[in-house]
Amino acid sequence: MPKVTILDTEGRWSPSEDEHLWWPRVQWIDPGGVSGLAVVWFDPKALFSGATTAKVVLAHSEMYLSGPEDGPNGHVSRFLRVARGLNLEEAEGGPEYRPGLALGCESFVPRMMNKDWEFLAPPRLRAAISYQLSMEHNHLTGQLGVPLHAQSPSDAKGSFEDARLKALRMYTPGPDHIRDATRHCLLWIRKLRGNGLDFFKSAHGYEEGWFE
């Protein structure tokens, strides 16, 4: 689990060791030769009450994924390991599911003829992650298949430019891969408000305590 940076200024985020398993959270990957992975935790009560993004976001985590695409330490496996770490809590009788996580991957639409191996890394990674998730148990539906949501890079960049990330204290200097993944997390959270509470429940599950 990457380091979690607490952004909450209103005392909602408890210092308990399993707080990252309590709040709703979204994990996104910007796939490529070097991938960016980000996780953002948020307060759904504040979200659906119309609060600003700065008041909705509780915490943030990010990391680069480099090296092979496949294998035990490849991009795909590391993405899934982080997801499982955000989904399951170790318990005496074995891992227990904790609701709240939604997963996403930046969409890829080629705008040029290019057969270069690295250029085509994004669709390969998305397909590999999507396949693995299709074989996993979905605790929300009781069926096989965990959805991998998609958003376009232009929508994410247009909605949360670098200046806005800086204002939210979520800007990380360097290559833009992790910033792009963070943009997607923030866009997803913003879109949840417009899509309504029922959509939120279908994507993240529900805990009464989130809205107390």
Residue showing tokens 């948020």? 42
Dihedral pair phi/psi, residue 145, rounded to 5°: 110, 110
Element (H, E) at 6: strand 5-6
**Residue 124 amino acid letter:** R
CA 89 to chain centroid: 18
pTM of the model: 0.94
Q: Which CATH class is domain 5-211?
A: alpha beta
Which one, of 197, 205, 184, 169, lies nearest residue 47 by Cα?
Answer: 197
Which one, of 65, 58, 87, 194, lies nearest residue 146 by Cα?
Answer: 87
- pLDDT per residue as tens digits for the range 110-156: 666 666 667 678 999 999 999 999 999 999 999 999 999 999 999 98
Task: Determine the pLDDT at residue 117.
Answer: 60
DSSP assignment letter at 204: H
53 has pLDDT over 90: yes
Residue 210 in contact with residue 48, Cβ under 8 Å? no
Question: How many Å apart are CA 23 and CA 162, to the nearest integer?
Answer: 26
Task: Determine the pLDDT at residue 95.
Answer: 85
Domain boundaries along the sequence of the chain: 5-211
Q: Is 101 exposed, middle or buried (0-12, 13-18, 19+ CB in 10 A)?
A: buried
Residue 19 to residues 6, 102, 116, 152, 208, Cα–Cα distance (Å):
11, 17, 42, 30, 16
Cβ neighbours for 91, distance < 8 A, ≥ 6 positions apart: none
- pLDDT per residue as tens digits for the range 162-178: 999 999 999 999 989 99
**Residue 76 amino acid letter:** V
